[in-house]
Amino acid sequence: MTTQTRIAAPVSGLGAVEIRVLGCLLEKQRTTPDAYPLSLNALRLACNQSTNRDPVVDYDEAAIRDGLHRLERRGLTRLASGAGSRAAKHRHLLAEALPMQPAEQAILCVLMLRGSQTPGELKQRTERMHRFAELADLQETLERMIERGLVARLARRPGQKEERYEQLLQKDEADAPASTALNAPERQRPATHEPARAAPAANELQALTERVARLEREVAELRSTRERGPEQRMGQG
């Protein structure tokens, strides 16, 4: 087993909530160490910030708690309440699961919190965590992260000169609604089962429609017979 496979395996296929939670823990450890580890409420506020976040989300505590549980099962977070602390607090274990240099941590953190970005954007947005002397230094770090399977280079957007980069810890959820991040079993169900369930439903609807139409015809015939009955008796009298 190669070094890359060993360190990357525990940190792949994460959901959107898990990525946001892990990114916030990493960010607050580097930018506000006095307030780290974070309580559940502090973590919720960090996840739902309207600045330095893309997309801006509105996760409730239940969503954050579920994300923490999934990360904890994968050995990426743990409880870390200090002596005398009333609220449970949480810290990340990313350094143990995925050893990185401070420069790599800063880039990965910003990509987790703000999506794909250009080298210029990354250089500006990582300054609070790590200062790159030159843009070339950041690009060199990006190349190392690409070799480790942590980052991917994207094609240039129309009218854009710089390439964009994205982190590879998150599974592709571009087509999934935000609420499905908490419903992994539904996501993993094979899509080929859907048509099999849809076909019987369509057949049942058609049969029901035909049955209703038949009943309506029978009722109409009965009404017609009842209306003709008195007229026939009067004619016979």
pLDDT > 70: what percent of the chain? 73
Of 47, 48, 38, the closest CA to residue 77 belongs to 38
Q: What is the mean pLDDT of residues 136-165?
A: 94
CA-CA distance, 152 to 49, in Å (whole number)?
26
Check residue 40 and give its pLDDT: 97
Percent of the chain with pLDDT over 90: 60
Helix axes 135-147, 102-114, angle to 10 degrees: 80
Residue 237 clears pLDDT 70, i.e. is over it: no
Which domains, and CATH codes, for the chain?
Answer: 8-99 (1.10.10.10), 100-170 (1.10.10.10)
Q: Is 208 a residue whose pLDDT tops 90?
A: no
Residues with Cβ within 8 Å of 140's Cβ and at least 6 positions away in sequence, in order, are: none
| Cis bond upstream, residue 55 (ω within 30) | yes
Model-wide pTM > 0.75: no
The 10s digit of each residue's pLDDT in 219-230 is: 777 777 776 665
Per DSSP, the residues of 49-84 read: -SSS-SS-----HHHHHHHHHHHHHTTSEEE-PPTT
Mean pLDDT, range 227-234, rounded to an integer: 58
Confidence of residue 171 (pLDDT cuts 50, 70, 90): confident
The position carrying tokens 């009404």 is 223
**Taking a C-beta distance cutoff of 8 angstroms, is the pair 19, 94 a contact?**
no
Lowest mean pLDDT among 50-54, 128-132, 193-197: 193-197
